[in-house]
Chains A and B, each alone.
Chain A
Amino acid sequence: METIRLKIDGREITTAAGKTVLEVATENGIRIPTLCHLEGLADVGACRLCIVEIAGQLVTSCTTEVANEMVVKTQTEAIKKHRRQILELLFAEGNHVCSFCVSNGNCELQDLACELEMHSVTVPYAYPRNRVDASHPWFLIDRDRCVLCGRCVRACAEVEGAHTWAFAERGHTARVITDLDVDWGDAESCTSCGKCVEACPTGALVFKGVSNAEMTKDSDLVARLIERRDNE
């Protein structure tokens, strides 16, 4: 096994080759904020919150492999500022009303506002008109709370193998859709397994019938299922 030696925030670290910077940092107790990353799913660098500085460049740590002599900085003032700005844009482009969200108190986006010390959103809020789809008998999607992390898309494809969820359109009109943009209740490929709901970091994908702050997510479900599958 090839070993790699690198420095993260001044700490000398020796690790196996083939891992990402995020993986190695996490293994060594160095916290890097993430949102689109979910243990067990392929990393895609969608949310950009895990940016770190390597050789003067900002790169996403979840999609960057460790290399020999690599010097990584995870917490410079510039990085913190950029992360906060990314988070502000996430809040501004949706309709995130924490106070009466079903996921209030159990939301990764809400937690990131605390962690990244986002005092206010300095860009004007976009207030998009998004479609809520409650056609599925058990689950619903409130796209106002979607951050387009793609965890539902990947959980559905990589773990369930159903490929029900996908992205449609680009830029500020981008959204997640079921099958060929039909109502979720009519999506024939959906097995109603609920992995997308558990994988979703916010209150976008939720169980029907939950009220304010009642929705909790089993965000480790995907990782547990993958571990079980790999052990078989």
Chain B
Amino acid sequence: MSKVKVATLWFSGCSGCHMSLLDIDEVFIELAARIELCNSPITDLKTFPEGGVDVTIIEGAVANEEHLHLVKEARAKSKILIALGDCAVTGNVPGMRNGIPTDKLIEGIYGKETTTNGQLPYDVVPHLLDRVRPIHEVVPVEFFLHGCPPPPGVIAKAILALLDGKTPELVGEDLKFG
């Protein structure tokens, strides 16, 4: 049986959701036999394999131009997209900057107000979007894993259900934000 190809992406988030993913402990032994982890902060592979993947799990909100590019690529190259955690599902903490004009924000953080010889990050690093968006505001998403971070048990339950060809049953406490 060929392995199920899984990618994970890290957008505007604290990496706590990836930590929670790593916290599924012994479930990894089962996963190791059944999935091939492709591009992911964990493997440090940067690009989607040729032919795409079966599942892409995305942590974080869409906050800059790189995220916007990647989320569209992920959608095009994945059969199933999972929004992992509150930033990906709601915008959460990164979304709190929405309503503040981006230029004012950059100026406030990198400009003279907070640092001496501050340089505005307009070169090399991706530009911020006007507004931070949850994943599903940009591309369609199949499954939403709530929580900051989502509990490891919920992540394991969702992945294992998908591997068995079933729809993850996310109910009750599984849908708790925060």
Of the candidate stretches A49-57, A122-130, A173-181, the one touching chain B is: A122-130
Q: Which of B141, B143, B175 contacts A117 (CB 8 A)?
A: B175
CB distance from B136 to the nearest CB of A (A): 5
Q: Are B90 and A127 in contact (CB under 8 A)?
A: no
CB contacts (< 8 Å) of A98 on chain B: these are 86, 148, 176-178
Known: A120-B83, A120-B136, A120-B141. A127 touches B176 (CB 8 A): no
Does any Cβ of B come within 8 Å of A1's Cβ?
no
Please tell me if A95 contacts chain B, counting CB pairs below 8 Å.
yes
A115–B175 Cα distance when bound, in Å, is 9
Q: Which residues of B contact A129 (CB under 8 A)?
A: 99
A114–B175 touching, CB < 8 Å: yes
A147 sits at the interface (CB 8 A)? no
Interface residues of A in 37-52 (CB under 8 A from B): none
Alpha-carbon distance A100/B177, docked complex (angstroms):
10
Which residues of chain B from 96 to 122 have any CB-CB distance to chain A below 8 Å in the complex? Answer: 96, 98-99
How far, in Å, is B160 (CB) from chain A's closest CB? 19
* Residues of chain A with a CB closer than 8 A to B86's CB: 98-99
Take A119-B144, A120-B134, A129-B99 as given contacts and tell me if A101 and B90 are in contact as well, using a CB distance cutoff of 8 Å.
Answer: no
B137 touches A124 (CB 8 A): yes
Q: Is the CB of B90 within 8 A of A125?
A: yes
A68 to B143, CA, bound (A): 45
Tally A residues with Cβ within 8 Å of B: 26
A81 to chain B, nearest CB (A): 16
Cross-chain contact B148 with A99 (CB below 8 angstroms) = yes
Chief secondary structure at chain A's binding surface: loop
Given A98-B148, A120-B141, A129-B99, the answer on whether A114 and B93 have CB atoms closer than 8 Å is: no
The residue in chain B whose Cβ has the minimal distance to the Cβ of A100 is B93
- Let me know if A120 and B178 touch, CB within 8 A: no
| B147 CB, nearest partner CB in chain A, Å | 8
- Within 8 Å of chain A (Cβ to Cβ): is B26? no
Cβ-defined contact, A120 with B92, below 8 A: no
A187 at the interface (CB under 8 A from B): no
Nearest CB in chain A: distance from B154 CB, A: 12
A17 to B104 CA separation, bound complex (whole angstroms): 61
B141, B143, B173: the one contacting A114 at CB < 8 Å is B173
Interface string of A92-132 (1 = CB under 8 A from B): 00011111110011000010011101111110110111000
Cβ of B51 within 8 Å of any chain A Cβ, yes or no, is no
Shortest CB-to-CB span from A141 to chain B, Å, is 18
CA A213 – CA B137 in complex, angstroms? 28
* Contact of B124 with A by CB under 8 A: no
- Quick check: A127 and B171 within 8 Å, CB to CB? no
B96 and A97 within 8 A (CB):
yes
5 extra A-B contacts, CB within 8 A, seeds A97-B92, A125-B98: A96-B177, A99-B148, A114-B172, A118-B175, A120-B136
Q: Which 9 A-B pairs have the closest CB atoms?
A: A98-B178, A99-B148, A98-B177, A127-B98, A104-B178, A127-B99, A119-B144, A99-B178, A114-B175
A sample of 18 inter-chain contacts (CB < 8 A) reads A98-B86, A99-B93, A99-B177, A105-B178, A113-B146, A113-B176, A113-B177, A114-B173, A114-B174, A114-B176, A115-B172, A117-B171, A120-B83, A120-B90, A122-B136, A124-B137, A125-B95, A127-B95
Binding site for A on B (CB under 8 A): 83, 86, 89-93, 95-96, 98-99, 131, 134, 136-137, 141, 143-144, 146, 148, 170-178
